[in-house]
Structure 1
Amino acid sequence: MGDVLSQAEVESLLNEAKAAQAGPPAGVEAAAPEPVAPPPPTAKAPPMRPREKITPYDFKRPERVGKEQMRALQTMHEGFGRNFGAGLSALLRSIVEVKLTSVDQLTYSEFVFSLENPTCFNLITAKPLEGQLILDINPSLLFPIIDRLLGGGSTPTPPARRPLTEIELRLVRRITDLFLQEMRRAWENVLDLELSVDRVESNPQLVQIVPPNEVVVLISFELTLGNVRGMMNLCIPFNSIERIGNKLSANSWVAISKRPVSAESLQRLSDQVGNAPVELIVDLADTTISTADLLGLRVGDIVTTEKDIRAPLVLCVEGRPKFLTAIGAFKGRKAIRVVDAIEEQHVSIGEEITTAVSEEA
């Protein structure tokens, strides 16, 4: 039993343990602890940056039109929708609501394959823009409009699945002409467009105005005529508006709101206009002579007229009569003196109509 300790060995171990707890004996110095090196300084952690929002980018649908240009197009065509709705209501003699639903970027192939077949696919030339624009009118909306133009109602009926006839195309031309007229007004602060319909197709998949992967801007409108609703889409290829991207900004075309005119602006405007040259013409007199007398005139001949020498002469500024004057001389030169201003006469149309009605009555 070599692993068993005797009583003496157990007491010796206990005594050594008590001595270690009590410390070194008197007169004996304890050994100094070895110095411990301080820990190396740690680098200060950089401040936490806010996590940036990561937006997925689809290479099949690149966004080539800037956000500012997209906002400008949206604002322009919101006003266009209101004006086009008012004009269409007057044409159809029924309330038509036109609402801008979206302004998106997509590829030309995505736009074409999203349309119905057959449809009303108008190819529009918009000079000086390059290429062509597209106006698509959904058949579910088009046939009720044609029915309304022919004197029918606005009851929703299933649209016919067929191309338009020649007579129907002539009726639709009235709608597209109104659309182009209002579009020209909406764009006049950006560009003076010359819009015309080049041709009308029924199958959109057979028309290739740009490559399939080319980016286009699709502006969609929802038209409501009674119980009938349908879509009208305007497709603008990116290459058509690429060169005028700087003009499609909110600051370059938005109308300036009316503000009180300050004295400084009036003075600035007066300084600029004050140096502008204008044409002044004084009509001395009118008379009638024969061609033979006109050909026989020589320097120094006198032409008599019925105008009194004391009668005032009319001074025209840029072709408009403005002042009554008297002729004379100043420092040895011929001159005129302003006598009075000519008040412009404005005739009230309402008064003329009222007078005419009263006389007929």
Structure 2
Amino acid sequence: MTEVLSQDEIDQLLTVISAGDVEGEDTKQITDRKNIKIYDFKRPDKFSKDQIRTVSVMHDAFARHTTTSLSAMLRSLVNVHVASVDQLTYEEFIRSIPSTTALALINMDPLKGSAILEIDPAITFSMIDRLFGGPGENSKVNRELSDIEQSVIESIIVRILGNLREAWSQVIDLRPRLGNIETNPQFAQIVPPTEMVILVTLETRIEDVEGMMNFCIPYLTLEPIISKLSAQFMYSTIRRGSTTENLNILKESLSVIDVLLSAEIGSMELPVRDVISIQPGDTIRLPNVKIGDPMILKIGNKAKFKCRPGMVGNSVAVQVTEKLEDITPEEFEELTGEDIDE
């Protein structure tokens, strides 16, 4: 941070300079002590340090999920971790990647625009070789993908995108979709060259083969959710459970769940031999139950309401008359034979 001089310090400095007591070397030392920050207007910083840190945390989780899924898919030891998260122009990103590589254009629905997942050729051909039954060694191949190889790498990227959705779930319900795969960076112009992007570099190792995966996201794509890219938002307990939107989603999900309702007239214990001998038309006398007594309506195995039997059209029905929570513990135990605390 630039140091600001007080008015007294400024006056003393002007007095010394006017008197000629300060040599050129001393003036140079004073100048050298100033903390000057160079600002390039062609390359403005649009992401704060907190936002970059949040993106890094999100993709740490993405790297862990990808490590697990690729290890299972390739049946070999895979290690993926975040090497760096930087902001730069799209032109700088394009210039930093090989002239022939695998560039997957990713639709970032519901966000506007696209992102790019670039996979180093060494990693790409190692994964393809393993899925074809080979050892997956580093063969130094540098060529375009064949149709069959492209189909294989598409299946790998689709699995990776599932991990991306899970990693972003704390910020947005992202539904990334694979568009197409390019091998020439010049054909992957998703934003103007001077547009700022955030670049997540993932160091990837498959057995002895090492390489990079780069995930490039334009600022224009992240702009609608830029305020959510903060630690305060990600770890807020208010956001997670008590917003009206989340409660409505929870209610909607619960409203379609089927639950078992049963109206219980009464209960009694019988020996197994008596139960086996019961025939249609037999009458079972229930102890402590009178004709006018209410029935108990259970939800699942919990007694919740008093009700009385009746008919609706040609169907047998019950009418809820009272909540059991509104009665005393003694009345509850007398009706159900259960402790109200259970």
TM-score of the pair, normalised by structure 1: 0.62
How many angstroms does 1:327 deviate by? 4.8
Which AA in structure 2 matches 1:59?
F
2:78 alignment counterpart: 96
Q: From 162, 165, 170, give the equivalent of 2:151.
A: 170
Task: Tell me, yes or no, if the aligned pair for 2:197 and 2:217 is still in contact at 8 Å.
Answer: yes
Aligned residue type for 2:83: T
Q: Give CA deviations for 1:255-304 in whole Å, capped at 9, x if unaligned.
A: 76xxxxxxxxxxxxxxxxxxx9x99995338xxxxxxxxxxxxxxxxxx9
Q: Is 2:110 the counterpart of 1:131?
A: no
Residue 263 (structure 2) pairs with residue 284 (structure 1): yes
Q: 1:232 aligns with which of 213, 220, 224?
A: 213
Q: Secondary structure at the match of 2:228?
A: coil
Consecutive unaligned residues in structure 1, runs of 5 or more: 1-42, 257-275, 286-303, 345-361
CA distance in 2, matches of 1:307, 1:314: 20
The aligned residue for residue 254 of structure 1 is 235
1:196-345 maps to which residues of 2 (within 5 A)?
196-254=177-235, 283-284=262-263, 313-316=296-299, 320-323=300-303, 327=307, 334-335=321-322, 338=332, 339=336, 340=338
Return closer, same or farther for 1:181/1:282 CA change in 2, 3 Å cut-off. Answer: closer
Q: Show the counterpart of 2:97.
A: 115
> CA offsets, 1:233-261, max 9 Å, x none?
100000001121110011111376xxxxx
Cα distance in structure 2, aligned partners of 1:242 and 1:99: 26
Contact 2:105 2:181 in 1 (8 A): yes
CA shift for structure 1 position 103: 0.7
Change (3 A) 1:323 1:106: same
Secondary structure of 1:153's match?
coil
Instruction: Please tell me whether the aligned partners of residues 324 and 341 of structure 1 are also in contact (alpha carbons under 8 angstroms).
Output: no
Q: CA deviation at 1:192?
A: 0.4
Amino acid at match of 1:162: R
Q: 5 Å matches for 1:56-71? A: 56-71=38-53
What secondary structure is seen at the aligned counterpart in 2 of 1:64?
Answer: coil
CA distance in 2 between counterparts of 1:111 and 1:307 reads 83
Give the drift of 1:76. Answer: 1.1
Secondary structure (helix, strand or coil) at the match of 2:226 reads coil
What displacement does 1:220 show?
0.6
Q: State the distance in 2 between where 1:144 and 1:100 align.
A: 20
The CA distance in 1 between the partners of 2:285 and 2:305, in whole Å, is 14
**Alpha-carbon offset, residue 190 of structure 1:** 0.4
CA contact (8 A) 2:130 2:136 kept: yes
**Does the aligned pair in 1 maintain the 2:78–2:205 contact within 8 Å?**
yes
Residues 62, 283 of structure 1: alpha-carbon distance in 2 compared, 3 angstrom cutoff: same
Q: For 1:167, give the aligned amino acid.
A: I
2: CA distance, partners of 1:253 / 1:184: 15
* Percent identical: 36
- Cα deviations by residue, 1:170-222 (Å, 9 ceiling, x for unpaired): 21122212211111111101000111001111111122111111111111111
Query: How many equivalent residue pairs?
Result: 258
Q: Alpha carbon RMSD of aligned pairs, Å? A: 3.7
Q: Are residues 209 and 327 of structure 1, via their aligned partners in 2, closer, same or farther at CA, if it must alter by over 3 Å?
A: closer
* Amino acid of the structure 2 residue aligned with 1:83: H
SS in structure 2 of the partner of residue 71 of structure 1: helix
Per the alignment, residue 182 of structure 1 pairs with 163
- In structure 2, the residue matched to 1:105 is 87
Letter in 2 for 1:152: G
Indicate the larger mover: 238-247 or 57-66. Answer: 57-66
Aligned twin of 2:314: none
Instruction: State the distance in 2 between where 1:281 and 1:255 align.
Output: 36
Distance 1:197 1:89 in 2: 21
Q: For structure 2, which runs of at least 5 residues remain unmatched after alignment?
A: 1-6, 14-29, 238-250, 265-280, 310-319, 325-331
Tell me the CA shift for residue 45 of structure 1. 4.5
Find the counterpart in structure 2 of residue 86 from structure 1: 68
- Measured after TM superposition, the shift of residue 61 of structure 1 is 2.1
CA distance in 2, matches of 1:145, 1:281: 50
Would you say the 8 A contact 1:102–1:220 is kept in 2? yes
Distance in 2, Cα, partners of 1:69 & 1:86: 26
More helix by share: 2
Report the Cα distance in structure 1 between the residues aligned to 2:128 and 2:115, rounded to whole angstroms.
23
